[in-house]
Structure 1
Amino acid sequence: MKLDPFYLIVDSADWIERLVPLGVKLIQLRIKTMEDSGLRAEIRKAKALCAEHQCQLIVNDHWRLAIEEGCDFVHLGQEDLQNADLARIRTAGLKLGLSTHDHLELQTAMAAEPDYIALGPIYPTILKKMKWAPQGVERISEWERRVAPIPLVAIGGLNPDRLDGVFAAGADSAAVVTDITLNADPEARTREWIGKTERWR
């Protein structure tokens, strides 16, 4: 499978409503703490918006709700992977993305036969406290050799100026969170990312 090179990660359907119409084609809804009824409403709204704009929606963590709401792609971290019913996810026809931060996690992820592997943090990140040091672009090249032909997503501290190095090292897609959501003009920054990743489409 081929991933869009620009992979936006947001924490609400409102962000999807704001940014997907600008031309975003790959987006993850990543909501960590919310009750099921609220989550279901967010996923339902996100799914409708993405369908309207031909954007691939990926639901983070909440695979049961994703199945119930008819979504077709989930992303799991390593802890979530341990508790997930992979057989049920596959039977429901969902594609699967998995996070990795070190060699042991990569081994675990590859055993699950995912549809993409994410590696991070590539650079220092403010998204969350990490026990892993920044991986650097050299690790991207190593991971690419190990996971090919599975698509590789780079995440962590990315911005438009760092994209050339990330893609040259072997990443298929670059994931972004705070560089857009904390930007003074998220719409303009989104357009910049879309323009900067155009050559890898």
Structure 2
Amino acid sequence: MTSSSIDPVVLRLLDANLDRAREGLRVAEDWARFGLNRRDLVEPLKDLRQQLGRCHLPEYRQARHTASDGAAGLAHPAQAERLNPQAVVAANCARAQEALRVLEEFGRASNPDLAAIAETCRYRLYDLETQLLADQSRRQRLREARLYLITSEVPQMFEVVEQALQEGVRLVQHRSKTSADGERYQEALALRKLCNRYNALFIVNDRVDIALAVEADGVHLGQGDLPITLARRLIGPDRLIGVSSHCLDDLQKAQDAGCDYLGVGPIYTTPTKPGRPAVGFSYLKQAAANAQVPFFAIGGLDLSNLQPVIAEAGAAAGFAVVRAVMEAADPGAATKELLKLINRSY
């Protein structure tokens, strides 16, 4: 069907709804970029917008006649009720989805390719919207955390962790490399309940299945664990994914895949990671310059060597410890001194 044989009203409908869909997508894209720092969401939203841009034919634009459109500039009171970014994003996702449906319905007869693309874009946007509007409360609490406690298999582990929580730790990871699955699950369940009591985030190391089973706040992955994209599909958009990184390439790949935070290290040689050479301060400086998500320096940190790490890492960093608290003679006092040193530096 040639454009000359298409009803001018249909041409105007296609033009208007291509504009609406692309505008709505741009709002969502900018929120993903500037509000969420989620490159993994920015790229697919940009792709949808560009696909529709290629479909916006000159004849559609030429049919535009704003002066004769009696509804141009028509506002609705609901627009004034969008008082937070989530409401704005939700409204613009709905706007784009509705416009895509119009493109499907009116494009079938005159431009089947456009109709097919609009349908595909609409279904992709449904999934992206879920991630754009995911609960951000965990990420906000993550940004506020400065000291990250990672457990080790010590006697009285629960008592040690509770002392650290009492002194102000608000981010705990359960790390167990030798326990059987049943024991690991029971430990994680007890730690999650303990962290809930103190309003602390609880992360499970490596095991997505156990993180889900105990309703943890997230999972921490090493370089040899599940791909981030697969882990995200399993744990959903609300929970956190942390990733260990040992060089700038690790950092960039993890950010591109949509991690929520990074471990940066090991800064010093540590028996917690036997065989893993220390990265020193060179990578720490690179992380401080390139990280777009929260990051935690890790590896052999304690009261005796933390000050220079704080100085190199900058104001955006957090600090993860294992032995400095888990093996301290007085875990509560050690935690209190670590937090005092960190807080005094900012």
* 266, 274, 277: which one aligns with 1:129: 274
Q: Tell me the number of residue pairs that the alignment of Structure 1 and Structure 2 aligns.
A: 199
* 140, 148, 159: which one aligns with 1:7: 148
Pairwise CA distance, 1:191? 1.7
Q: Output the amino acid matched with 2:276.
A: K
* 266, 275, 283: which one aligns with 1:139: 283
Any idea what SS the aligned residue of 1:117 has? strand
Q: Which has the higher helix share?
A: 2
Pairwise CA distance, 1:58? 1.2
Matching of residues 38-77 of structure 1 within 5 Å: 38-77=183-222
**Percent of matched pairs sharing the same residue:** 32
43 and 146 in structure 1: CA distance in 2 versus 1, 3 angstrom threshold:
same
- Rounded to whole Å, the distance in 1 between the matches of 2:240 and 2:228 is 17
Matching of residues 8-47 of structure 1 within 5 Å: 8-11=149-152, 14=158, 15-47=160-192
Structure 2 gaps, min length 5: 1-138
97 and 3 in structure 1: CA distance in 2 versus 1, 3 angstrom threshold:
farther
Q: Which moved more, 1:78-87 or 1:121-130?
A: 78-87
- Rounded to whole Å, the distance in 1 between the matches of 2:184 and 2:330 is 27
- Rounded to whole Å, the distance in 1 between the matches of 2:276 and 2:150 is 21
Does the Cα contact within 8 Å between 1:138 and 1:169 map onto a contact in 2?
Answer: no
Match of 1:174 in 2: 319
Over residues 81-101 of structure 1, what are the superposed CA-to-partner deviations in whole Å (9 max), with x where a residue is unaligned? 349832423426321110011
Does the Cα contact within 8 Å between 1:5 and 1:200 map onto a contact in 2?
Answer: no
Structure 1 gaps, min length 5: none
- Rounded to whole Å, the distance in 1 between the matches of 2:259 and 2:148 is 17
- Rounded to whole Å, the distance in 1 between the matches of 2:243 and 2:313 is 17
- Rounded to whole Å, the distance in 2 between the matches of 1:182 and 1:5 is 20
- Rounded to whole Å, the distance in 1 between the matches of 2:228 and 2:261 is 19
Pairwise CA distance, 1:45? 0.7
68 and 93 in structure 1: CA distance in 2 versus 1, 3 angstrom threshold:
farther
- Rounded to whole Å, the distance in 2 between the matches of 1:80 and 1:151 is 20
Any idea what SS the aligned residue of 2:225 has? helix
Q: Which has the higher contact order (CA 8 A, sep 6+)?
A: 1
Q: Which moved more, 1:14-23 or 1:174-183?
A: 14-23
TM-score, structure 2 length as denominator?
A: 0.53
78 and 140 in structure 1: CA distance in 2 versus 1, 3 angstrom threshold:
same
Pairwise CA distance, 1:183? 2.4
Measured on the aligned residues, the alpha-carbon RMSD in Å equals 2.3
- Rounded to whole Å, the distance in 1 between the matches of 2:148 and 2:178 is 22
Match of 1:152 in 2: 295
101 and 21 in structure 1: CA distance in 2 versus 1, 3 angstrom threshold:
same
Q: Output the amino acid matched with 2:290.
A: R
Pairwise CA distance, 1:62? 1.3
- Rounded to whole Å, the distance in 1 between the matches of 2:296 and 2:228 is 23
